């Protein structure tokens, strides 16, 4: 993404569009216009964005309570909203240590103000591109102990690495860097639901000047977990990863953002 699109409020910005869908206030007219254009194609896009955020909460809760994880590496932070990784983790275990990574100066400005730690824990922010794995790992090692399990959060970031080989190289190197007992969580837009509209929305977004992105199938998403034990229920809609199911309403509707969590043996 160019510096111009990052800082010019007249050009749509991925993080601000996402912030708009989540009900945040850190967005501008250009962001809302693109967000509304995409929503016209995908009426459930707001539901999808919020399902992604709810998945984060359920995944982090599982990793802390069932997995005993106290360290998180959150890649592609985006603009802080409600129930960020550190808030969920430190509510459950105050001593949790979280490192956020994003390459966007706009995110950095907000992160410095909003991503604050609880007493006894650590919340740090690294400005780096996830493609620069060495910079990410070197920076994270200042706050995280790589001899102990780490939960790697890659929600809505792998889709911005549009080259498949590069995406697998980045994810693979990060997987190799964390020890046994670590977790990987990925959320990624797909064409599994409303495929034609999803593909058109990506074309529209890419042509609007925001960071180029891609869709991947459930099978392609699953391939990023090679070598890890994929937790049940596998690769599914974010709305259907271990939700609280209403006896009246039944399972929630599927959304086009799919997800999965894996554990390193």
| Kind and range of the H or E run holding 34 | helix 29-41
Report the pLDDT value the prediction gives residue 4, as an integer from 0 to 100.
42
- Give DSSP secondary structure letters for 101-113: EE--HHHHHHHHH
How many CB atoms neighbour CB 131 within 10 A? 15
Distance CA 223, CA 149 (A): 22
Report the pLDDT value the prediction gives residue 5, as an integer from 0 to 100.
42
Report the pLDDT value the prediction gives residue 113, as an integer from 0 to 100.
66
Distance CA 108, CA 100 (A): 10
Report the pLDDT value the prediction gives residue 80, as an integer from 0 to 100.
67
Report the pLDDT value the prediction gives residue 109, as an integer from 0 to 100.
75
Distance CA 186, CA 59 (A): 10
- For the chain (265 residues), the mean pLDDT of every run of 10, in chain order, is 55 85 86 92 89 95 98 87 88 95 79 72 91 97 97 96 98 98 97 92 87 95 98 97 82 93 98
């Amino acid at each position: 993404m160019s510096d111009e699109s990052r800082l010019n409020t007249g050009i749509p910005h991925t993080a601000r569009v996402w912030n708009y869908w989540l009900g945040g206030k850190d967005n501008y007219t250009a962001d809302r216009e693109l967000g509304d254009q995409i929503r016209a194609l995908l009426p459930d896009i707001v539901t999808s964005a919020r399902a992604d955020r709810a998945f984060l909460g359920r995944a982090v809760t599982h990793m802390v309570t069932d997995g005993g994880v106290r360290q998180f590496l959150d890649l592609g932070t985006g603009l802080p909203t409600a129930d960020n990784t550190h808030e969920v983790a430190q509510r459950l275990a105050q001593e949790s240590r979280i490192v956020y990574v994003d390459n966007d100066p706009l995110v950095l400005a907000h992160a410095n103000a909003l991503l604050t730690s609880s007493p006894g824990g650590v919340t740090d922010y690294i400005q780096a591109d996830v493609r620069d794995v060495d910079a990410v790992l070197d920076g994270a090692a200042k706050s995280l102990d790589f001899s102990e399990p780490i939960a790697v959060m890659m929600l809505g970031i792998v889709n911005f690495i549009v080259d498949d080989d590069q995406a697998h190289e980045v994810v693979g190197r990060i997987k190799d860097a964390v020890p046994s007992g670590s977790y990987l969580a990925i959320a990624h837009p797909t064409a599994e639901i409303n495929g034609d509209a999803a593909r058109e929305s990506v074309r529209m977004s890419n042509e609007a000047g925001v960071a180029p992105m891609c869709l991947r199938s459930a099978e392609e998403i699953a391939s990023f977990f090679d070598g890890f034990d994929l937790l049940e229920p596998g690769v599914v809609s974010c709305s259907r990863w271990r939700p609280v199911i209403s006896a009246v309403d039944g399972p929630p509707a599927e959304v086009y953002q799919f997800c999965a969590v894996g554990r390193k043996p």
